[in-house]
Chains A and B, each alone.
Chain A
Amino acid sequence: MVFFKKSISERKGRVAIASFAVVLAVTAITGLLGITVGIREKLGTELRAYGANIVVYTEAGAYLTEDFGARISAMSNVEEATSQLMANVVFENMSFESVGLDFQQIKGRGWRLSGNWPKEQGEILVGINLKSALKLEAGKRIKLVGQGNSGPGKEFLVAGFVEMGGNEDNAFILSLPDLWSITGLAPKVSAVLVRGMPGALDAVVANIKRDFKDVSVKTMRQVAVAEDLLLQKIQLLLALITIVVLFSASVSVASTMGATVLERRKEIGLMKAIGATKKEIGLFYKVEAVFIGLCGGIGGFIIGFAVIQAVSKGAFNSFVNIPFYIFGAAVSIGVAVSVFSSLIPVRGALKYNSAAILRGD
C-alpha cells in the first residue's frame, strides 16, 4: 500500500492536473443529471396545486389586465377564474419574488398555513423558507418596495406563513391591490388561472381564444408537455457539452499519464527485473487512475452541485433536491473516464524491454 501512496504523492503535480480535467468533466455530468432529476421537480409545480386546469397568459414581459378574470369567469363551463400577478419586491435591500392574488377566492386551496389567513388589505402571507431566513414572525410589520418602482413602498402586517413545496415557499404573497400599489402595475396581471368543467376543457379554451386576441391559452396538460420538451432540449444541449468535456478530459488524462509513463521507464524496467508481471505493474497505474478519478469525481460533484443550486436559485429562486445516487453516478463516471483514458499509455509502457532500459551506461 505504501508503494502506491508514495508513487502517487511523488507525482502530485501531474495527478492534480489530471484530476482537474476529471473535475471539469464530472461537473458537467453532475449538472446534466442534476438538472434532469432535480429541476424537473421545480417545473410547473406551483400552478398545479391551485386547482386550475387552464392557464391564460401573454408573451413574457407583457401583461393582461384584471378584467380578463371577470370576463372569463362569466363564460359558460367555467367554474372560476383567478388573476395572478408575479413581480419582484425589495425587502431590506434584497430582491424577492412576490405573488399578487385574491386571498378570498383561493382561501385554503393548496396551501398549508401557519398563522392566519389575511383578512384585509395590508396583510400578507410569507413563504415558509423566508421565515427563518429573514427572521420573520406572524404579527410583525415589514416594509416592501416594488422593484424598479420609485415609489416609497408600504408597510405590511405578516399574517401567516405558507408551505406549498413550490416557489411560493420563497416568496411574499400579497393581495393584488397591495402589489399593484407598491409596483404601480395596476391593473395588470400576469396570468389568469381558470378552472373549467372537466370534460369541457377544449370548448373553454376555444372560447377564450375566440374572445381574446393576443393571449396564450393552454390546458395544464399542454403546459406539462411543453415543459417536458423544454427540459429535453436543455438536456440535449447539456449532453452535447458533456460529451465534448468528457472527450477533452480523456485526452488530458491520457497525455498526463503518457508523460508519467515516460518518466518512469527506468522504474518499470526495474520492476520487471525484480519479477513483476505486466499486470502487477499496470496496477500501479490503475491505482493512480482510480485515485485521479475519485478526486476528480468528488471535486466535480461538489462544484457541479454548487452550480446547479446557483442555476436553480437564479431561475426558480429556490434550491433543488439532488438524490443520493447522483453522487455515486458522478464519481463512478469520473473513475471510469480516468481509468479508461490511462489504458493506452500504460499499455505502451509495458512494452519496454527492460534489458535495454537497465543497460549499465
Chain B
Amino acid sequence: MSSSVIYEAFWVGLKEALKAGLVWIVLFSFLQVIDRKKLSGFFLYGILLALICPLYVFTLPVTPQLKELISRSIDTSFALFFILSAFLLAHGSGMNLLGAIERAFGKTVIAAPVLLLLSALYFAPDFAGNSVFLMELAEVKESPAAVYISATAGIVFGLAAFYAARKKIRVDFIGSFFGLPQLFLFIAMIKLLGGGIKGFSGISLIPSVQTGFMKFFHDFVHQVFVILMVPDHPLLKTTAWNFIGILFGPNFSSVAALAALLAIPMLFLSHSFLGPVPEPEAETPADRRKIKGLFMSDRKRKAVSVLLFVIFIVVAWFSESGENISKLYIPKPRPVVEDKGTVMIPLKDPTMDVRDGALYKFSLSYRGEEMRILVIKKDDGKLSVCLDACEICPPRGYGQKQGFVVCIYCNTPIPVATLGQPGGCNPIPLHVLIDDNFIRIDVSEILQKWDYVKSGKGKESVK
C-alpha cells in the first residue's frame, strides 16, 4: 500500500511538471514565431507566483469547503481560457473585435504583466489542488516526508525530461500551428486533460458547464416569471411548467453545453476551410498558386488545434453525458455538521429539496473521519436515509440510474424501492428521525455503522 502512495505522489509531481513543460514549449514556440521570445520569461515568473499558492495551502486544514473552492477555481480558470480563446477565435473568423487589444499586446509593458498574471492564474488552482491531495496522502502514510519527497522527485523527473527533449523540439514548426486564439484554446485543453486534481481522468468540463446551464435556465425563467408576476395558476403549473421544465432537465442543458462549447470553434473551422481565399497578384499562374497554397496551408495548420478541441469535446460529451449523466448520476456530497451529538440535515433549502427524487449526498467530517450519507425519496413518498456505503464493498458510494442506486465499486443496482433493506450490497440503513424541516441522525449511529464499513474491509483487503 505504501508503495502505491509514493507512486501516486510521484505521478502527481510528474504530471504537473510535464503539463507546465508542454504549455511552456508551445507558448515559447508561438512567441518565437511572432518574434516576441523575450516574453516567455514572464510565463516562468507566473509559475513561480503560482507556487506561492501551495505554500499557503500547506498551512491550511483540509476541509470540504477548501476542496470545493479549489475545484471551482480549476473550472473557472479553464473557463477563463476557453472564453478568451473563443473571443479571439470569433475575432479570427471575420468579426474584427480587437484591433486595440492587438496593438496593446504589441507593447511589452502591457503584454508582460498580462502574461505573468495569466500564467499564475493558470497554475495556481492546479498547484493548490494537488497540494491538498498530497496533504491527504501524507495523512494516511506513516512517514509524510516520503510523500513530499516522491512528489518532488516526480517534478524533478518531469522537468529533466523536458530539458532533455528541448533540443529535439522544432520550435518554429510547433509555432506555425498556433495563432493567439489557438494558443489559448490549446492551453485550455491541456488544463482540461491534465488539470484535474490527481489524475487525468477527472474531466469535469461537461458536467460543470451543464450544471451552470441548468442553474442559469432555472434562475432565468424564475426571474422572468417573478418580473411578469405570473400568478401560480393551476393551469400554468401543470402544462406550462411541464414544458418549461424541459429547460431545467439534464438532457436539454447537456445539449446546450455541447452547443455552447462548440459554437465558436465551429464558426472558426468553417471560416478556415470554407472562407474566401484571396486571389493574389503574381507573374505566372504557378506563382499565384504558390501564394494561395501557402495561405491555405497556414489556415489549415492553424485549424488543427481547434479541430482537436472539437473532437475532444464531442468525445468527452458522448462519454460523459452518455455514460455518466444519463446513466450514473453521482452528486457531490454537501457538507453537514454535528451539533450536540446530532446531525441535522435540512429537507429543503434554496438550493435543493431532498424530496425531488434525485439522489442527495451529505458528508460529515467528524474526528478526522469523513463519512457520507445518502438521502433519496422512494416512490411511496418516504425518505430513505442510508450510509453511502455497503457491507461488502470498499466504500466508494452509490450513483443514481433510473429507478436504481448503483454501487460504484461493484456496479450492483439496488432498486430505490427496496432501500432500507440491510445486508449484501444494499446501502446500510440508518435510524433517523424526520420532522417537517429536518432529518435528525445520532452521530453515534453514523459512527458505529461507518466503523463497521471501515473495519469490515477497507481499501486494503480488496484492491
Interface residues of A (CB under 8 A from B): 40-41, 44-45, 47-53, 108-113, 163-166, 195, 198-199, 220-221, 224-225, 228, 323-325, 328
Task: Tell me whether B403 is interfacial, beta carbon within 8 Å.
Answer: yes
Q: How far is the CA of A163 from the CA of B414 in the complex (A)?
A: 10
Q: Which residues of B contact A44 (CB under 8 A)?
A: 410
- Asked if B318 is at the interface of the complex by the 8 Å CB criterion, the answer is yes
By a CB distance below 8 angstroms, the chain A residues around B452 are 198-199
B428 — nearest CB in chain A belongs to which residue?
A198
B68 within 8 A of A: no
Cα–Cα distance between A53 and B393 once the two chains are bound (Å) = 11
Chain B residue with Cβ nearest A52: B424
- Judge whether A225 and B413 touch: CB under 8 Å: no
A324 touches B323 (CB 8 A): yes
**In the complex, which residue of chain A has the Cβ closest to the Cβ of B318?**
A324
B392 contacts A166, C-beta separation under 8 Å? no
**B418–A109 CB distance below 8 A:** yes
List, in ascending order, chain B residues with CB within 8 A of A198's CB.
391, 452, 456
Identify 6 new A-B residue pairs, CB closer than 8 A, beyond the known A198-B391, A198-B452: A45-B413, A48-B425, A49-B413, A49-B425, A112-B417, A221-B461
Indicate which residue in B318, B403, B421 contacts A51 across the interface (CB closer than 8 Å).
Answer: B421
User: Which of these, A40, A108, A225, A228, contacts B418 with CB under 8 Å?
Assistant: A108
Query: What 1/0 mask marks residues of chain B from 413 to 457 whose CB sits below 8 Å from any chain A CB?
Result: 111011001111110000000000000000000000000100011
27 of the cross-chain contacts (CB-CB < 8 Å) are A41-B411, A44-B410, A48-B392, A49-B414, A51-B426, A53-B391, A108-B418, A110-B414, A110-B424, A113-B417, A165-B406, A165-B412, A165-B413, A166-B412, A195-B422, A195-B424, A220-B392, A221-B392, A221-B457, A221-B461, A225-B462, A228-B462, A323-B319, A323-B323, A324-B318, A324-B322, A325-B315
Taking residues whose C-beta sits less than 8 angstroms from the other chain, chain B's interface range is 20 to 34
Give the residues in chain A near B391, CB-CB below 8 Å. Answer: 53, 198, 220
Give B contacts to A, CB under 8 Å: 315, 318-319, 322-323, 391-393, 403-404, 406-407, 410-415, 417-418, 421-426, 452, 456-457, 461-462
CB contact between B424 and one of A47, A111, A323 (< 8 Å): that residue: A47
Contact residue among B404, B424, B456, B457 (Cβ-Cβ distance under 8 Å from A50): B424
**Is there contact, CB below 8 Å, between A51 and B413?**
no
Complex CA distance for A49 and B421, rounded to whole angstroms = 10
Which A-chain residue is minimally distant from B449 (CB atoms)? A198
Q: Please name all residues of chain A whose beta carbon is closer than 8 Å to the beta carbon of B403 when the two chains form the complex.
A: 112, 163
Known: A165-B404, A323-B323, A324-B318. A220 touches B415 (CB 8 A): no
* Docked CA distance A323–B315 (Å): 12
Cα–Cα, bound, A328→B319 (Å)? 10
Assembly CA distance A49 to B410 (angstroms): 11
**B415, A51: Cβ atoms under 8 Å?**
no
Among residues of A, the one whose C-beta sits closest to the C-beta of B422 is A51
Question: Are A53 and B418 interface neighbours, CB within 8 A?
Answer: no
Which residues of the partner chain B approach A47 to less than 8 Å between Cβ atoms? 424
The CA of A53 and the CA of B404, in the complex, are separated in Å by 21
Considering the complex of A and B, which 8 residue pairs feature the smallest CB-CB distances, nearest first? A165-B413, A51-B423, A112-B415, A48-B425, A51-B424, A48-B412, A45-B412, A41-B411
Contact residues in B for A40 (Cβ distance below 8 Å)? 411
> What residue in chain B is nearest A219 (Cβ atoms)?
B392
> Is A195 in contact with B415, judged by CB distance below 8 angstroms?
no
Bound Cα distance A144, B391 (Å): 37
Choose among B318, B422, B424, B461 the residue that contacts A49 (Cβ–Cβ < 8 A).
Answer: B424
Q: Say whether A49 contacts B426, CB under 8 Å.
A: yes
Name the distance in Å between A331's Cβ and chain B's nearest Cβ: 12
CB <8 Å contact, A195 and B423: yes
Assembled-state Cα–Cα distance A164/B93 (Å): 52
Find out whether the CB atom of A163 lies under 8 angstroms from the CB atom of B422: no
A110 and B426 contacting across the interface, CB-CB below 8 Å: yes
The residue in chain B whose Cβ has the minimal distance to the Cβ of A108 is: B418
B423 to chain A, nearest CB (A): 4
Closest to A193 in B: B424
The answer on a CB contact under 8 Å between B462 and A224 is yes
Taken together as a complex, chains A and B put the C-alpha atoms of A44 and B413 apart, in Å, by 11
Q: A48's contact among B319, B424, B462, by CB below 8 Å, is which?
A: B424
